């Protein structure tokens, strides 16, 4: 199973709102993640830094394509724009894939 990791920043004073919005994640957004084959998705924070990680049952390319083509994801990104800074890859429309440099099993 392929893995995907990303990073972003929560704007100062917005972490509680960020958490609140994710606690109320839209059902249609959950459906897109499922369609994309995304599992074991978790987001971590330290200060204003965010680190996200998920596994792609159908591969990273499939997950990226489904998200890139989704109007729901576009709406979610607009919804979150006022509380976070998120760099997007111009080619994929997704957060740049972080390179894995260590793994221990």
| 49-61 pLDDT tens trace | 999 999 999 999 9
Told to judge if 62 belongs to the known catalytic residues of this protein, a careful annotator would answer no
Inform me whether the pLDDT recorded for 42 exceeds 80: yes
Task: Report how far residue 53's alpha carbon sits from residue 97's, in angstroms, rounded to the nearest whole number.
Answer: 10
Contacts of 26 (CB under 8 A, 6+ apart): 72, 76
Q: How far is CA 38 from the centre of its chain?
A: 10
Per-residue model confidence (pLDDT) at position 23: 97
Catalytic residue among 19, 20, 22, 87: 22
All domains of the chain in start order, with CATH: 2-85 (3.30.70.100)
Task: Report how far residue 48's alpha carbon sits from residue 91's, in angstroms, rounded to the nearest whole number.
Answer: 26
What's the average model confidence in pLDDT over 64-70?
92
88 burial (CB, 10 Å; 0-12 / 13-18 / 19+) is middle
């Amino acid at each position: 199973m392929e893995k995907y990791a990303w990073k972003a920043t929560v704007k100062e004073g917005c972490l509680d709102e960020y958490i609140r919005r994710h606690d109320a994640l839209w059902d249609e957004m959950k459906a897109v993640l499922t369609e994309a084959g995304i599992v074991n998705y978790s987001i971590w924070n330290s200060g204003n830094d965010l680190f996200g990680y998920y596994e792609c049952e159908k591969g990273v390319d499939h997950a990226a394509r489904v998200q890139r083509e989704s109007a729901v994801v576009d709406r979610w990104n607009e919804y979150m724009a006022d509380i976070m800074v998120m760099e997007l890859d111009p080619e994929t429309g997704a957060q740049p894939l972080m390179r894995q440099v260590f793994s221990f099993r």
